[in-house]
Amino acid sequence: MAQFIQILVLGLALGGVIALMGSGLSLVFGVMRIVNLAHPALIIGGAYIAYWAFKLLGLDPILMVPVASIAMAAVGVVLYKLLFEREAKSAKYSEMTVLLTFALATMAEGLLGGLFSNTQRITSPTYATDAIFIGDLFIPKGQLYSGIISLIIISGLTLFLKYSKLGNAIRATTQNREAAELLGINVNAISILAFAIGIGLAGAAGSLVSFVFSFFPAKHWEWVAMLMSVVVLGGMGSILGTVVAALGLSVIAAFVGTWIGATWSTMTFFLALFIVLLVRPQGLFGEKPEMA
């Protein structure tokens, strides 16, 4: 029983971070139909911001969360204006963005590799290697702090989307872009805002990831399938679905890694993606597409 609770706690803590990593990806797809394969590469960009701030200035990566978020949000605005704005009304927009963001991910990897090499790095504040002991249980502080902060950020995002005027405009655009435009919503401005928020969430996740996982520029390819599994299982565009899927899959992966082998834990995400596409393509919280 103690081992069961131990694995459950560790899985939930790590699931919070994965939920934050996937929430920006889900938001961007829900509002603009952009399948952003470059999202993990942008997360690594945020991780480098936190890493170098800690390495050069001694700044805590948790304190760098808002800084990395704002910096990556600014990058998001530039990327949207340069790459995504012009063809936003195209009927094949989602298909186009798959190829476009794949190229963007490759270029981001090359840029980061050229600047920082492919050396594995990890931010090392004191709590990253410390733990809280409760009887026979131990909880790594790094995973605990990152999981709690991730869920706080996601809760703030949820409240913003539900209760603010801009949040309501984003939700309206998600549900029906044409109807939102007819009601006087500046859909293009809302798209820029939503994309900036989504990439800002990538920056925040990167800052937290920097002391939970080791990272290097090519690491993003390992995260693409994991994040797509979480987002697809939860339902493309559903923040709640992303959180539920991230927590559930992380717990399952933790049990698989402990009882079967660490090399098999990653297979949990691939298998989940395969099954959900076969059985329920719209995901747990997604809407079933209407038949023509």
Determine the average pLDDT of the residues in 126-149: 88
User: For residue 125, is pLDDT > 90?
Assistant: yes
Q: How far does the chain reach from its first CA to its final CA, in angstroms? A: 51
3-state DSSP helix/strand/coil % of the chain, to nearest 5: 75, 5, 20
pLDDT attached to residue 288: 60
Burial (CB count <10 Å: 0-12, 13-18, 19+), residue 109: buried
CA dihedral 211, 26, 250, 256 (to 10 degrees): -120
Tell me if residue 265 falls in helix, strand or coil: helix
pLDDT attached to residue 292: 41
Determine the average pLDDT of the residues in 12-40: 90
pTM (2 d.p.): 0.91
Return phi, psi of residue 11, to 5°: -65, -40
Taking the CA atoms of 191, 193, 195 and 197 in sequence, report the sign of the dihedral they define.
negative
What tens digit of pLDDT does each residue of 98-113 get? 999 999 999 999 999 9
What tens digit of pLDDT does each residue of 171-220 get? 888 877 788 888 888 888 998 999 999 999 999 999 999 999 999 999 99
pLDDT attached to residue 2: 73
